[in-house]
Amino acid sequence: MTKSNIGFIGLGLMGQGMAANILKKGWPLQVMAHRNRAPVEMLVAEGAREAKTPREMAEQCDVIVLCVTGSPEVLSVIGGPDGIASAGRPVTIVDCSTSDPSVTTKLAADLAGSGLTLIDAPLSRTPADAAAGTLDVMVGGSESDVQRVWPVLECFAGRIIHTGPTGSGHTMKLLNNFLSMGYAALYSEALMLGRKAGLTPEVFDSVIRGGRMDCPFYQTFFRWVLERDPNAHKFAIRNGFKDMSYLAGYAIAAGVANPVGAAVRNSFAQAVGAGRGEDYVPMLSDFIAEANGLE
């Protein structure tokens, strides 16, 4: 089988591992630098080619994978004089970012008129899973469009779930992150309350670990709490805040109450407002402790 040219934009913590796996699986790969050139130079040394603009990439690639921060960045990469759309070619865009579902749905409809196909394929798990090729991917799009990009997704995914039409992947991702950021806020507050009562994190962990409330997210969170491993879960608090803000917007648009989501968002908002947005999510436990007079 002749493999299509694949473009990749967004070589951050997740993206560099994903792109490396696409290249390892034998797909012709083109990449683009943003702030950090190190991942680009590493991939070019392995056989990838570098594009200077999204337009240049779209002129040569049939599929372009985006792994950027959110909807504003996606719109910037696709639109504009040097954007993907300006190339005027029928490119399939796979948006692996955590984006606003309402923006994704409208953008897909707008792009369809110019021959561009937008599929949303947000991710779950960690940068370590991206490097290992074992990410969970939630894919929104038509059956035929999803099947066309499935072999590319398999390069970096251990599990792929077709969630429904375009936009449904990003909606499911927000719900997934609502659960995970909710856990982070709960763990942080519970640890703080426990310490106020004289219960150490070690005692807390000895009760929870191996019980019904244990899970992989708990384990990576507590690798920071107990071992102070800064690489335990490399997902910034500011991104958790962004995702919970997207969820709030979705709830408002749906006309429903989302009180637990609002509480989780506020936990992250307070940390961001205090200048801790670049900290990773497990470090929320430190902020909550400090805000309540604990070291």
Q: Which residues are catalytic?
A: 173
**% of the chain with per-residue pLDDT over 90:** 91
**What is the per-residue pLDDT for 36?**
81
pLDDT confidence bin for 34, thresholds 50/70/90? confident
- Quick: pLDDT tens for 38-48: 999 999 999 99
pTM: 0.89
DSSP string, 229-259: -TTSS--BHHHHHHHHHHHHHHHHHHT---H
CA distances (Å), 9 to each of 28, 53, 151, in order? 14, 10, 18
**What is the per-residue pLDDT for 193?**
98
Query: Can you tell me which residue has the tokens 């040219």?
Result: 5
**What is the per-residue pLDDT for 68?**
94
Element (H, E) at 64: strand 63-66
pLDDT confidence bin for 1, thresholds 50/70/90? very low
**What is the per-residue pLDDT for 146?**
97
Q: Measured in Å, how far apart are the chain's first and last C-alpha atoms? A: 59
Rg (CA), the chain: 20
Model confidence at 9: pLDDT above 50: yes
- Quick: pLDDT tens for 50-104: 999 999 999 999 999 999 989 999 999 999 889 999 999 999 999 999 999 999 9
DSSP string, 206-222: HHHTTSTT--HHHHHHH
Query: Can you tell me which residue has the tokens 């696409």?
Result: 22
Domains of the chain, earliest start first: 6-165 (3.40.50.720), 171-291 (1.10.1040.10)
| Helical packing angle, 237-254 and 284-291, nearest 10° | 90
For residue 56, what are the contacts with CB-CB under 8 A and spacing of at least 6?
82
For residue 30, what are the contacts with CB-CB under 8 A and spacing of at least 6?
5, 6, 7, 8, 48, 49, 50, 51, 57, 60, 61
